[in-house]
């Protein structure tokens, strides 16, 4: 089955890509979760708008990715969060929280799907967060979670 991807799917493609997948994978996984829509001739118009939106927030090339990496890694990112007396958070830090903290610290606007938190952040202190800027470039930031 031919699909137009509306979101990035690991090991398959990026938004706006036309991919050929097995019918069951498309019917049972990709389409119900909103990762893709069935390909039609009218869908070709959607592809151009999806690609334009992706190009606006996408890193242009390897050189640009390295510049953004240097900019992000130079930031001191602090995130205030509600915590108990023992330093344990009420809940955990989410990708959206990290994205907002980077932007508040003066960093660029990031796509939250590019941010990766390896272990859940549930305590106050310094934590490492990886941001995949490009296929070959990943920035690691030190996130200082402080009690609010």
> pLDDT tens digits for 77-104?
999 999 998 999 999 999 999 999 999 9
Q: Which CATH class is domain 2-57?
A: alpha beta
- Per the model's pLDDT, the better-predicted residue between 52 and 134 turns out to be 134
pLDDT band at 21, cuts 50/70/90? very high
pLDDT band at 7, cuts 50/70/90? confident
Single pTM value for the model: 0.63
Residue 64: the pLDDT is 82
In this structure, the number of other CB atoms found within 10 A of the CB of residue 124 comes to 20
In this structure, the number of other CB atoms found within 10 A of the CB of residue 51 comes to 15
Q: Which CATH class is domain 62-147?
A: alpha beta
Tokens at residue 138, please?
């990943």
| Ranges of CATH 3.10.430.100 domains, the chain | 62-147
| Ranges of CATH 3.40.5.10 domains, the chain | 2-57
């Amino acid at each position: 089955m031919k699909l137009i991807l509306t979101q990035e799917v690991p090991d398959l493609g990026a938004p706006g890509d036309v991919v050929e997948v097995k019918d069951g994978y498309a019917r049972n996984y990709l389409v119900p979760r909103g990762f893709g829509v069935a390909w039609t001739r009218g869908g070709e118009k959607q592809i151009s708008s999806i690609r334009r939106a992706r190009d606006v927030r996408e890193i242009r090339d390897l050189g640009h990715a390295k510049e953004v990496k240097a900019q992000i890694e130079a930031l001191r990112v602090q995130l205030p969060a509600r915590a108990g007396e023992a330093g344990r958070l009420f809940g955990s830090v989410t990708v959206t929280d990290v994205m907002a903290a980077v932007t508040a610290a003066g960093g660029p606007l990031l796509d939250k799907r590019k941010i990766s938190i390896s272990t859940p952040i549930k305590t106050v202190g310094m934590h490492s967060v990886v941001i995949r800027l490009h296929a070959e470039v990943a920035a690691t930031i030190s996130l200082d979670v402080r009690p609010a």
